[in-house]
Amino acid sequence: MTTGELLNIEPQELNFPFELKKQIACSMQLLNKTDHHVAFKVKTTNPKKYCVRPNSGIVLPRSTCNVTVTMQAQKEAPADMQCRDKFLLQSAVASPGATPKDVTPELFNKESNNQVEECKLKVNYVAPPRPPSPVREGSEEGSSPRASISDNGILNSNSAPRTVAESQEQSSEVKALISKLTDDKDSAIQLSKKLRQELELLRREGNKSSGGIPLIYVILIGLLGLVLGYMLK
Nearest CA to 119 out of 92, 101, 153 is that of: 92
First to last CA, the chain: 79
Phi first, then psi: give them for residue 191, nearest 5 degrees. Answer: -65, -40
Q: What is the pLDDT along the chain (233 residues), one digit of tens a residue?
A: 566 799 999 999 999 999 999 999 999 999 999 999 999 999 999 999 999 999 999 999 999 999 999 999 999 988 888 999 999 999 999 999 999 999 999 999 988 888 899 999 999 999 877 777 666 655 555 555 555 555 555 555 454 445 666 666 777 787 888 888 887 777 778 777 777 777 777 777 766 665 555 666 667 666 666 666 665 55
- pLDDT confidence of residue 151: 53
How many whole angstroms separate alpha carbon 229 and alpha carbon 128?
67
Sign, CA torsion 181/183/186/192: negative
pLDDT tens for each residue of 114-170:
889 999 999 999 987 777 766 665 555 555 555 555 555 555 545 444 566 666 677
- pLDDT confidence of residue 185: 79
How many whole angstroms separate alpha carbon 21 and alpha carbon 50?
14
Helix axes 215-232, 164-208, angle to 10 degrees: 150
Nearest CA to 67 out of 96, 37, 101, 100 is that of: 100
CB atoms within 10 A of CB 112: 10
- pLDDT confidence of residue 4: 79
This prediction's pTM? 0.55
